Amino acid sequence: MKKLSLLFLFTLFISGAAFAQQKPSMDFARTEHNFGTIKEEMGAVTTQFEFTNTGKSPLIIQRVSASCGCTTPSYTREPVLPGKKGVISAKYSTVARPGTFNKTITVYTNVPDTVYVLTIKGNVVPK
């Protein structure tokens, strides 16, 4: 009976380890972008954050949210296969927002227990 219990536990451990290796994983080329000094009359500035699925199963972005209404995120909507790349864009509106800014974009995916945070910052010079 003891051998049967040990065999059962070993089987659970092996199957759990095999399942754990099938998770997607998201690796960003960079997680912060500094626009530097920009003019308010530009209206808006945009940057892109490129990522790679370094895991073993498709990566799905469930939602992306910005820390304020002045930042508009967009992202790759279809599943990103292992080894493939995707993009998250962040557009910041400079109109009527002179001064320094530091905003975050939060990315929720199917990667277990992981939330990704991207940052944009800069300084808007008034008209």
pLDDT digits (tens, 9 = 90+) for 78-127: 999 999 999 999 999 999 999 999 999 999 999 999 999 999 999 999 98
- What does R_g of the chain's alpha carbons equal in angstroms? 21
Domain 25-125, CATH: 2.60.40.10
Show me where the domains of the chain are located.
25-125
3-state secondary structure 10-54: HHHHHHHHHHHCCCCCEEECCCEEEEEEEEHHHCEEEEEEEEEEC
CA atoms within 13 A on the CB side of 59: 26
Separation of alpha carbons 45 and 41, rounded Å: 11
> In the structure encoding, which two tokens stand for residue 33, read together?
């972008």
Least Cα distance to 52 among 17, 18, 20, 76 occurs for: 76
Separation of alpha carbons 19 and 47, rounded Å: 36
Q: Bigger pLDDT: 95 or 19?
A: 95
Q: Could you read off the pLDDT of 22-78 as tens digits, one per residue?
A: 899 999 999 999 999 999 999 999 999 999 999 999 999 999 999 999 999 999 999
Residue 16 reports pLDDT greater than 60: no
Report the run of H or E that residue 2 belongs to, with start and end. helix 2-20
- For 12, list phi and psi in degrees, rounded to 5: -60, -40
